[in-house]
Structure 1
């Protein structure tokens, strides 16, 4: 325990556990700046690769369902010690996996944070029309939907368009992004009864609007917010952040996450 210089002891800052979920075609690698800053601040960080993405060993044609795609996150949340609750942070398509985890394990979720992410509403399906991206041939006919990959032009102009991420981070992304499936036709994604008030709806939800996002424009982000009354709203506006806010404005995003976690002693 530290002292304040006058001999009085100060209580240590509480440690939070953040679970960082990447978006489509990306892996845990895209969180490296935010994860490093959170750990340096004394917090725990788990950043799983979704099945078939990042460093996960499965190929896209081996991941048969949205449940299987989200399994690394579901397993991480299920494995939390009794009484521990984590802050789940979903980016882009990762918001759907966060919603599924919150539905399955509401007692283990301190907050579900959606950073320019797909945020489904209770009583509605999670399926959504994909953004402009290149569809690939489905090698496995037993898997619903076609895999997609973000092409170099789309990645540069819609996801990593700001100078703060345009050079080094774009080069990194083009080296590491992998094909992934949105599973829009999957049974879980089309089930309007999947997300309930007692499960997902009972979790504290926070949406972080990224104003300069061209991948999921702010107007569409606010449309999702309007479908879920009671969701808390934060915004990233200082200096601008593109779709990859954790890379273009990591300090601002980390400050937001810490503030969210500190509210109500999360």
Structure 2
């Protein structure tokens, strides 16, 4: 593809949407890259309701459809934030030949030894229920719905992000799900699929939602190729430190041709 122009596909985390990349997208585009920021099912301005999304594959449909349309001779850089790490892992499993590198941005990073739900289950084991503050959980058919409360937003996700972006996040948030029930029934990702694609992780040192030591545990557990760090970033580096995030992605992009 040559040194220069890459196609970045940006995948948001739970309760968020394509809107959360609004500071990063123009930076990447100004550097000459192509950028697709998409809304997963029932997220952002996607009209579906989370109650009607029954599987993690269905939740990931927009991403999988996009990759299906990428021409055979082209490759993209996938960037998954938070829960979006599992969406990009699913895409890497299904379309390994179309992905230059998968970037896990303080994201849940599965391995090839366990079920896809393993990193979420381990996270839940070490996270006391009080840490969820005012996040609401409610059972719905074969999954559990989740909606981050305003205090969880301000104290755990956006604690170093501007009050304007915090307000934006709270006003655009939508009900989500971790899909643990569905992911626990899926077979593990394969060495030939997900495991064959280069993977990079971007650590955020001040993340209180996915704390640093858990990010480090996932990096070791998943045997990642590259690890970069954004010092002083909370869980939302694309909002609180977009330039540093751009620099990290630029570094990764130049490495993979």
With normalisation by structure 1, the TM-score equals 0.88
Q: Bigger CA drift: 38-47 or 224-233?
A: 224-233
Match for residue 106 of structure 1? 96
- Please say if residues 22 and 49 of structure 1, whose CA atoms lie closer than 8 Å, have aligned partners that are also in contact: yes
- Of the three residues 157, 170, 178, the one matched with 1:174 is 170
In the superposition, relative to structure 1, how do residues 27 and 166 fare at CA in structure 2: closer, same or farther (>3 Å)? same
- Please say if residues 124 and 191 of structure 1, whose CA atoms lie closer than 8 Å, have aligned partners that are also in contact: no
The answer for unaligned runs of 5 or more in structure 1 is 1-11
Over the aligned positions, Cα root-mean-square deviation in angstroms equals: 1.5
Q: Deviations over 1:11-65 (max 9, x none)?
A: x962100000000000000001101111111110011101001110101111111
Partner Cα distance (1:74, 1:192) in 2: 17
Larger-gyration structure (1/2) = 1
Any idea what SS the aligned residue of 1:208 has? Answer: strand
Partner Cα distance (2:135, 2:151) in 1: 11
Partner Cα distance (2:256, 2:184) in 1: 34
- Please say if residues 61 and 138 of structure 1, whose CA atoms lie closer than 8 Å, have aligned partners that are also in contact: no
Any idea what SS the aligned residue of 2:143 has? Answer: coil
Higher helix share: 2
Any idea what SS the aligned residue of 2:189 has? Answer: coil
Post-superposition offset of 1:153: 0.4
Q: Deviations over 1:157-194 (max 9, x none)?
A: 000001xx2311000001000001111000xx114633
Count of aligned residue pairs for this structure pair: 245
**TM superposition outliers: structure 1 runs of 4+ over 6 Å:** none
- Of the three residues 243, 247, 255, the one matched with 2:235 is 243
Match for residue 88 of structure 1? 78
- Please say if residues 116 and 221 of structure 1, whose CA atoms lie closer than 8 Å, have aligned partners that are also in contact: yes
In the superposition, relative to structure 1, how do residues 230 and 161 fare at CA in structure 2: closer, same or farther (>3 Å)? closer
Any idea what SS the aligned residue of 1:47 has? Answer: strand
Q: Deviations over 1:75-121 (max 9, x none)?
A: 11111112100000000000000000000000000000000000001
- Please say if residues 136 and 147 of structure 1, whose CA atoms lie closer than 8 Å, have aligned partners that are also in contact: yes
Match for residue 251 of structure 2? 259
Any idea what SS the aligned residue of 2:191 has? Answer: coil
